Amino acid sequence: MLIFVISDSIGETGTKVIQAATSQFPIDNLEIRRFPFVRDTYTIDKVFEDYQQENSNPANGMIAFTLVSPELRAYTLNKGKALNIVTMDILGPFMEQVARMLNLDPRLKPGLTHQMDQAYYKRVEAIEFAIKYDDGKDNSGLKEADVVLVGISRTSKTPLCMYLAYQAIKAANVPLVPETSVPQELFQLPRFKVIGLTIQPDVLHSIRVNRLKEMGLYEETHYSNMERILKELEYGQQIMKKLGCPVIDTSNKAMEETAGKIMQIMQRSV
């Protein structure tokens, strides 16, 4: 079975609809071929010509299309009828129904589904940045960050960085561990670029105990020991004081609330 897909964009919508429909049937020899960025009748004629040449049994297949231009949609349907080739308008009927419901005219601009604006690219760039510079893996990029979060383990550094990335904010984070030296790059950053995260000891203890249980460990370890937790918190406070950075207590706060405070601090520093 041969199906040609004509599109004024990349043809992904039509292809996915066809794949979803044909998956409900035991078809062994299905071939779907895309013809993207079709914007004129000459190219449509060429697609029909290729279909006739390649399909010895035109009844065992079809030409489907997702075209926003009413003129091109009508032309394609009439062409199929004239050549006795099954031709299906995937997008048109639904678009017309929506237009009637909203009492609005469609924009008739190809490729809007896949149009990538500047905000999208900034968000993607920020997400990639957060992944690359997560948990102090690479300190070379700290100077490029919009904000750097510092704190001991389980103060929500990574989730906050990802949340901020979805707001197109480049966020990196550095863990504060007593046995590990703090990267000197941190002290070279403007104070307003670094924000410390802290947490109440009992809250952190509960979080770490639950984390160990998730991992199948039910006995207290160095990680969940209260004495160790107090030592880490004290160390973290010392480093944040040296950095001279603002500090946010994340205890029992929703991610959105903490992120909102971070963004407020950033705005005040602009």
Examine the domain organization and report whether 87 and 190 are in the same domain: no
Q: Give me the pLDDT at residue 217, please.
A: 83
**CA 198 from chain center: how many Å?**
29
* Span 96-105, average pLDDT: 90
Examine the domain organization and report whether 133 and 258 are in the same domain: yes
Confidence of residue 56 (pLDDT cuts 50, 70, 90): confident
Examine the domain organization and report whether 58 and 165 are in the same domain: no
Examine the domain organization and report whether 144 and 193 are in the same domain: yes
Examine the domain organization and report whether 51 and 155 are in the same domain: no
Distance between CA 55 and CA 57 in Å, rounded? 5
Residue that terminates a domain, selected from 71, 95, 114: 114
Examine the pLDDT at 113 and tell me if it is beyond 70. no
User: Tens of pLDDT along 161-208?
Assistant: 999 999 999 999 999 999 999 999 999 999 889 999 999 999 999 999
Residue that terminates a domain, selected from 59, 79, 114: 114
Work out the percent of the chain whose per-residue pLDDT is above 90.
70
Residue that terminates a domain, selected from 45, 79, 114: 114
User: Tens of pLDDT along 196-221?
Assistant: 999 999 999 999 999 888 888 877 88
Examine the domain organization and report whether 155 and 242 are in the same domain: yes
Examine the domain organization and report whether 101 and 195 are in the same domain: no
Examine the domain organization and report whether 144 and 218 are in the same domain: yes
Q: What is the pLDDT of the chain when averaged over all its residues?
A: 91
Q: Which residue carries 């802290």 as its tokens?
A: 198
Q: Give me the pLDDT at residue 19, please.
A: 93
Examine the domain organization and report whether 172 and 190 are in the same domain: yes
Q: Give me the pLDDT at residue 220, please.
A: 81
Report residue 58: phi and psi, to 5°.
-55, -25
Q: Which residue carries 């403007």 as its tokens?
A: 190
Examine the domain organization and report whether 95 and 145 are in the same domain: no
Q: Note down the domain range covering 150.
A: 118-269
The dihedral over CA atoms of 173, 175, 180, 186, expressed in degrees to the nearest 10, equals 40
CATH number at residue 49: 3.40.50
Number of structural domains in the chain:
2
- Which of 12-16, 52-56, 126-130 has the largest mean confidence? 126-130
Examine the domain organization and report whether 101 and 125 are in the same domain: no
Examine the domain organization and report whether 29 and 71 are in the same domain: yes
Distance between CA 126 and CA 73 in Å, rounded? 40
Distance between CA 260 and CA 164 in Å, rounded? 9
Q: Give me the pLDDT at residue 114, please.
A: 59
Distance between CA 186 and CA 175 in Å, rounded? 11
